[in-house]
A and B are shown apart, each in its own frame.
Chain A
Amino acid sequence: MDYYRLGRVKWWQTQAYYHALAEMGREGLLICYTDTPYVCLGLHDDLEQEINQEYCTQQRLPLIRRETGGGVVYLDNRQIFFQLVLNRDNPILPLSRTRFYNKFLTPAINVCRRLGINATLKEPADITIDTRKCSGNASGDIGEGVAYVGNLLINFDCEIMCNILRTPSPRYDRILRKTMKSNLTNLSQWSQRSRITRENIMTMLEKEFSYWFLLNRCSLDEQLEKRAQEVFKRLTAPEWLSMAGRKRPYRKIKIAEEIYLLEHKITDDVSLSVVVEDGVITEIDSNSTAINNLIKSHIGNRWDEDFLNNTVELTQRFTG
Chain B
Amino acid sequence: MENLQWQVPEDLYYDRNDYWVKIQRDEAVIGLTAFGQYNTGDILYLELPTEGTALTRGKKIGSIESGKWVGKLTAPLTGQVIESNQKVESNPHIVNQDAFGEGWLYRMLLQDPAEVAELMNATGYDRWIAEQIQKEKETTVL
Contact = CB atoms under 8 A, between A and B. Distances in A.
Interface of A: 42-44, 67-70, 91-103, 124-125, 137-141, 246
B72 interface: yes
Contacts of B140: 91-94
Contact of B139 (A44, A69, A92, A103): A92
A81 to B, nearest CB: 15
A139 B70 CA distance: 7
Given A93-B140, A95-B133, A137-B68, 8 more contacts: A44-B45, A44-B47, A68-B69, A69-B66, A69-B67, A91-B139, A98-B67, A102-B142
A69 B70 contact: yes
Interface string B110-142: 000000000000000000000011011001111
Q: How large is the interface on B (under 10, 10 to 19, 20 to 34, 35 or more residues)?
A: 20 to 34
Given A94-B142, A99-B142, A103-B141, A246 B45 contact: yes
Contacts, number: 77
A97 B69 contact: yes
Contacts of B133: 95
A82 to B, nearest CB: 15
A173 B22 CA distance: 48
B31 to A, nearest CB: 18
Contacts of A138: 68-69
B92 to A, nearest CB: 10
B39 A103 contact: no
A68 B1 CA distance: 25
Nearest to A70: B68
A103 B142 contact: yes
Contacts of A125: 67-68
Contacts of A139: 68-70
B39 A96 contact: yes
* Shortest Cβ-Cβ A-B pairs, 3 listed: A91-B139, A140-B70, A125-B68
Nearest to A149: B68
B142 A69 contact: no
Contact of A68 (B38, B41, B70): B70
A31 B29 CA distance: 44
Nearest to A137: B68
B53 interface: no
Contacts of B72: 141
A59 B40 CA distance: 38
Given A94-B142, A102-B142, A69 B41 contact: no
Contacts of A137: 68
